[in-house]
Amino acid sequence: MGIMELTPLARLRRQAGLSQAEVAALVGVSQQHLAAWERGKYLPRPAAQRALASAYGVTPALVFDAAEGTQRAVSAANVT
């Protein structure tokens, strides 16, 4: 992934018009933890996916798909 390219999970946050700090506070995690999810380092657990969905105004399934897509994109970028 390019430096300025957003991952699918980060794109959801941006579309909701929220900062990492705002979402982290809403979800109850540190900003660093949220950033790790957005970088594809970890998948958010189901409870966190539901909280993210609520914060972003989308379904938990969409958050799960975005998180999985983030991990796939990061893995593909690391292979090349």
Q: What is the pLDDT of residue 9?
A: 94
Q: What is the pLDDT of residue 3?
A: 47
Question: Splitting the chain (80 residues) into consecutive groups of 10 residues, what average pLDDT does each group show?
Answer: 74 96 97 95 94 96 91 80
Give residue limits of the domains in the chain: 30-74
Q: What is the pLDDT of residue 80?
A: 59
Amino acid identity, residue 28?
A: G
Ramachandran class of 58: left when φ > 0, alpha when ψ lies in -120 to 50, beta otherwise: beta
Between CA 75 and CA 41 the distance in angstroms is 10
Dihedral over Cα of 36, 37, 43, 44: its sign:
positive
Q: What is the pLDDT of residue 21?
A: 97
